[in-house]
Chains A and B, each alone.
Chain A
């Protein structure tokens, strides 16, 4: 046992000291989820390239992005994690709820933070239990509540029938508890329609919806499942304005295949859309025109590209906060974790970056790793091929969500033997 430790220590000592700030990108550019994985990965990488090219990194220290292909597959995700963690990885963003579940215990044991922005395990919002996992600015349960709030804002919800079309995995099952609580509270009927991975075949699900005629459909889909669902909804002439997707079901790739018939489809979002921001000028100048864009460089301004960029922006802001806190520009994962926990996003900060009004303001604390859960509703205009926000950023029903978070994180703490509390 001692020998093993010695051997590992020898390997560690032999590798050179990493001077760069390492941000691994566990991306998926292949497989049934590639259509959604590519824009996110491009946005994530391009933002860091921009920082390198324009500012020479963060606080003068260059950034190194290590990309690793997971194919949205948990086994490859583990391999990627093990392959990159030795390189001094500061924060993991796997963009997969399945991989997140696997990495939560591992990152906690290894002391590396993980940011699951708008996905992953919702109860990770409770930072007292999940010390190394962050899911600001919003989570799945906030999303479920936003969708219901939006439906309520359009008319009386009691007695209505609402269907949840979901990816039959940990991801899609996340909102069920919240929706059940909400249905008790507001008196609507919830109908569950699971779609199995990867979701290319949904005839029977939409036949069921056609027969049972729910008033509204909420979708938690990802990858090819989104496109198919929207096309099937159009085929049964389901009114698009009553069809609302979570933020992972709201990219251009999802609605474009259905053409004009997708007009009016709604999706939630926790950041702004489009490319009308000063930062985009810099992105074009330093990254795209210089030929340094990730991937094909054709994803700028799409919803998921913006989200990848937003994720990178939050990571770099957390790194800046960490550098201020520790007084050292070379970060360790532990410093990065403290930086993420002290992160505060203000309008002034976002305007300075060149993204005014891009996302909600929030402040992370040890008790709250999840931000304040603001979200907005976007609607697809098929003629203009553009998403536009139709509501402002609104809060979610914390009276319902917070007890569920407390309950689920307490269950996790008991299961994993974690002493909850702030360090």
Chain B
């Protein structure tokens, strides 16, 4: 019924190799994009932007970044929080040093800076892997947080060590600072997450992504068939760092407005993004979105149900929310170890055959 390829003929190679070869899938994708770009901005208010959409889009960007590294290239990283901090501090230094430059330039530049830093911390991956690499990235997490706390240059010598994002604009529209309209915040995040997803999707479909996956599946075999492990691993670290840096830059400048490295970019952030990737599905761009939605939206949703609708005490609601989200994570991982993306794939298969079971 749905997702049927029957009657859907490809007459050129490019049609056959497009991202969504099934027509129904493709139109659904266009519809989602159209709603996101043309409908949501007109109805969004401060609450929906700040509590739901902006964090979801930013975490989705970070999850895409980590998914490239962990999901596609198989290199475990526990340093995502600190790498986001690199993006945040880079964009802060850029914003304060070059106030007149558009945020559309600053944010990718911050991503490039992060890509460089992450590549340096990715060098140990050439010698070690698995748990040992996880420990090396953990060291990066603690080192970078310590560095941003220790060296006053990073926070422009402010007395409290806080960085606060000044008002900056894109084509005359304010996108950072307190006077930002909800739709402007949403749009800048949406633009970056769309670009990130497009780039990531096409990289993973091309030769670069195939090399990453070859390294992930068996590095010795990959080396034998001619994949250069150094290049493959380091490009994965760089591309991953680029997206995580963009996420960190947006997280600080657009979403929070003021940040403190230990609190906003601590080890829990690393775990949060890792959970998103695992729950969403390793090695899937859609999974990055699904995981981010699950981890960001579920707490907000539960809180609104418990406190807003049922009127329960806030502490009870907060504890219950931990129990429910924790429980759901375990349930999901037991029922579907490959994450929400795999559930989606299975659902699509079922829908193809529906209404016939076989």
Contacts and interface: CB of A to CB of B under 8 A. Distances in A.
Interface of A: 1, 3-4, 7-8, 11, 27, 29-30, 34, 38, 67-69, 71, 73-75, 78-79, 82-83, 85-86, 97-98, 101-102, 104-106, 108-110, 121, 168-171, 173-174, 176-177, 194, 196-197, 295, 408, 411, 415-417
A106 B161 contact: no
A173 B161 contact: yes
A408 B159 contact: yes
B44 interface: yes
B219 interface: no
Given A11-B45, A98-B263, 17 more contacts: A7-B45, A30-B315, A34-B315, A67-B314, A82-B46, A82-B51, A85-B46, A86-B46, A98-B162, A101-B258, A102-B256, A102-B257, A102-B258, A105-B177, A173-B160, A194-B149, A416-B177
Contacts of B183: 1, 4
Contact of A416 (B51, B166, B319): B166
A300 B264 CA distance: 34
B50 interface: yes
Contacts of A73: 263
Contacts of A71: 318
Given A27-B314, A29-B318, A106-B257, A4 B160 contact: no
B263 A74 contact: yes
A78 B51 contact: yes
Given A83-B47, A105-B164, A170 B260 contact: yes
A173 B318 contact: no
Given A7-B43, A174-B160, A168 B256 contact: no
B137 to A, nearest CB: 19
Contacts of A74: 256, 258-260, 263-264
A168 B149 contact: yes
A78 B47 CA distance: 9
A171 B262 CA distance: 12
Interface residues of B, number: 44
B327 interface: no
B160 A106 contact: no
B41 interface: yes
A74 B258 CA distance: 9
Interface of B: 41-47, 50-51, 55, 149, 158-162, 164, 166-167, 177-179, 181-183, 255-260, 262-264, 266, 300, 303, 307, 313-315, 317-319
Q: Determine chain A's interface SS by DSSP, over half rule.
A: helix
Given A30-B318, A108-B178, A109-B178, A4 B263 contact: no
Closest 9 pairs between A and B when the two form their complex, measured CB to CB: A29-B315, A105-B178, A109-B178, A170-B160, A69-B314, A79-B51, A101-B258, A30-B318, A82-B47
Contacts of B50: 78-79, 82
Contacts of B256: 74-75, 78, 102
A44 to B, nearest CB: 13
A356 B314 CA distance: 33
A102 B263 CA distance: 13
A386 B39 CA distance: 60
Contacts of A27: 314
A199 to B, nearest CB: 11
B262 A168 contact: yes
Nearest to B300: A79
Contacts of A82: 46-47, 50-51
Contact of A170 (B161, B182, B303): B161
Contact of B181 (A1, A79, A106, A171): A1
A360 B178 CA distance: 34
Contacts of A168: 149, 262
Contacts of A105: 164, 177-178, 257-258
30 contacts: A4-B43, A4-B44, A8-B182, A27-B314, A29-B314, A34-B315, A69-B317, A71-B318, A74-B258, A74-B259, A75-B256, A75-B264, A78-B50, A78-B255, A82-B50, A86-B47, A98-B162, A98-B260, A98-B263, A101-B162, A101-B258, A105-B164, A105-B178, A105-B258, A108-B178, A168-B149, A169-B161, A194-B149, A197-B266, A415-B164
Nearest to B264: A74
Contacts of A416: 166-167, 177
Contacts of A169: 161, 260, 262-263
B167 A170 contact: no
Contacts of B317: 69
Nearest to A417: B167
Residue among B44, B47, B166, B319 with max Cβ neighbours from chain A (10 Å): B47
Contact of B42 (A3, A177, A194): A3
A392 B263 CA distance: 37
Residue among B166, B255, B260, B313 with max Cβ neighbours from chain A (10 Å): B260
Contacts of A101: 160, 162, 164, 258, 260
A176 B149 CA distance: 14
Given A4-B42, A79-B50, A79-B300, A196 B262 contact: yes
Nearest to A81: B50
Contacts of B313: 29, 67, 295
Contacts of A68: 307, 314
Residue among B160, B259, B317 with max Cβ neighbours from chain A (10 Å): B160
A169 B183 CA distance: 32
A121 B167 CA distance: 19
Contacts of B51: 78-79, 82-83
Contacts of A30: 315, 318-319
A56 to B, nearest CB: 22
Contacts of B315: 29-30, 34, 38, 69, 295
Contact of B41 (A4, A86, A194): A4
A8 B319 CA distance: 33
Contacts of B264: 74-75
A416 B162 CA distance: 14
A105 B257 CA distance: 9
Contact of B182 (A4, A34, A102, A110): A4
A171 B160 CA distance: 7
A121 B44 CA distance: 31
Contact of A69 (B178, B266, B318): B318
Contacts of A4: 41-44, 181-183
B285 to A, nearest CB: 24
A177 B159 contact: yes
A368 to B, nearest CB: 20
A276 to B, nearest CB: 29
Contacts of A104: 258
B175 to A, nearest CB: 14
A21 B42 CA distance: 31
A169 B43 CA distance: 37
B181 A121 contact: no
